[in-house]
Chains A and B, each alone.
Chain A
């Protein structure tokens, strides 16, 4: 059974939200993609930091 099928049915609180599928979860720890996101998030954070000082 797919993970999302298992979780959506586990609790009625879960049925109205979104649950990541296999691909989305894999990308969270995919080193290459995360190295790219690391750069993007850092830039975004630096912009917010500079707007706040």
Chain B
């Protein structure tokens, strides 16, 4: 009998746990440790944030799904990893602290044979003074759409802004990134366009000044160093594509910006050229920077070995090349393939939880030395594919023995399909449908753009919206493990 523990039941961990359960015999155990009772299809939080969907439309309870599947569900957060056991035993274990199941605050030790870390990001609001509340949560001055509850709050606040606009009060809306080292610009991008779309529908667009603020050094960087895509027979930069979408909607931008302070109705920021600025707002949605969730690791004697297992940003070290050095030396092959921890062959990380070897975008810092560059995105599709590959590896190690070949899923050999909503509506909605292949550019294989331009494209239209809509239903269906769920690709 072997026990696999999956820490984190989000996009990547849920994929890993459900496939592992399907591939492992009943004699083996799959345990999921995750703090929320509900699974959230995060991409649709955007529509919750503009009042087009309710929270209930984007979440479902995990317990019945896991019970039916035969997965042991612990509503708890993982606290520490003990990969060498302790003084009494060599057996590996983790400690957890319950957040539900009527055991709130209780701690427990669970031994494991294999461990998958899929704990995703810590939403590090406190990295920017005023963006957080000083206790690790969202502060009082801005809103967020990163969780379903945040999105509900954002929608209520936005509604008030629309009401004021209807009464003839001009309102300022600011959307973007709340720190120089943020990722996930795509989510903010979707949110600003959905606000614009809803404002038009509500007849208040003329009363709103909507502005974008981002740490990208150019529009359309998206943390991937931008992309070149085939449009109308030309290969064009995502810069032109993104700028065009903003100009069309009369949304000006501040880019290369590190937001360094948030106060009531005002952000302060530093730009790449070193200048400092301020921007006022009545409503702001600023994405926080991401960090690892703060798991600790200890050796047999109880000594802290967190820095051996985790990178300084809190993400878990895997089989990546972390010493590539300067940008000029970066290669596609620096990116991990198996996501196995180099020191512990029974430990893996998938989704946002693994430590990338370096940025994808060209590093940049202001003339004052402040780093201002997007960190690498790990969107839903790569998170799912990596989760599945890691589960496959663990199952083979259990079923075939320790010499089994590990499955590979490098982000430098994997594409991503992204559909960025620009407004909801079955006949009036639009979305930018994009594919990028590979996610991490490979300049040895594609010396010009780093990517295969036959498979890197983007276009905006109603078709994209329909796809986004279908994806919403399809992925929730898949995550609920309804009949045929394995046929739906990640």
Contact = CB atoms under 8 A, between A and B. Distances in A.
B417 interface: yes
A41 to B, nearest CB: 5
A31 interface: yes
A37 B459 CA distance: 9
B9 interface: no
B329 interface: no
B149 interface: no
B462 A18 contact: no
B172 to A, nearest CB: 15
A1 interface: no
Contacts of B385: 52-53
A2 interface: no
Given A10-B250, A17-B243, A31-B427, A49 B455 contact: no
Interface string A1-42: 000000110110110111110000001111100110110011
Interface centre among B243, B253, B461 (most CB of A within 10 A): B461
A48 B437 contact: yes
Nearest to B462: A34
Contacts of B240: 17-18
The size bracket of the interface on A is 20 to 34
A38 B463 contact: yes
A29 B429 CA distance: 8
A50 to B, nearest CB: 8
Contacts of A52: 381, 385, 409, 413-416, 437
Contact of B467 (A14, A18, A42): A42
Given A28-B461, A29-B428, A34-B463, A20 B248 contact: yes
A17 B244 contact: yes
B415 A49 contact: yes
B460 interface: yes
B335 interface: no
Given A7-B250, A13-B253, A41 B244 contact: no
Contacts of B12: none
Contacts of B461: 27-29, 34, 37
28 contacts: A7-B247, A7-B248, A10-B247, A11-B252, A13-B252, A17-B244, A18-B240, A19-B247, A20-B248, A29-B461, A30-B462, A31-B427, A34-B461, A34-B462, A34-B463, A34-B466, A35-B463, A38-B467, A41-B467, A44-B435, A45-B417, A48-B417, A49-B489, A50-B489, A51-B437, A52-B381, A52-B409, A52-B437
Interface of B: 240, 243-244, 246-248, 250, 252-253, 381, 385, 409, 413-417, 427-428, 430, 433, 435, 437, 455, 457, 459-464, 466-467, 489-490
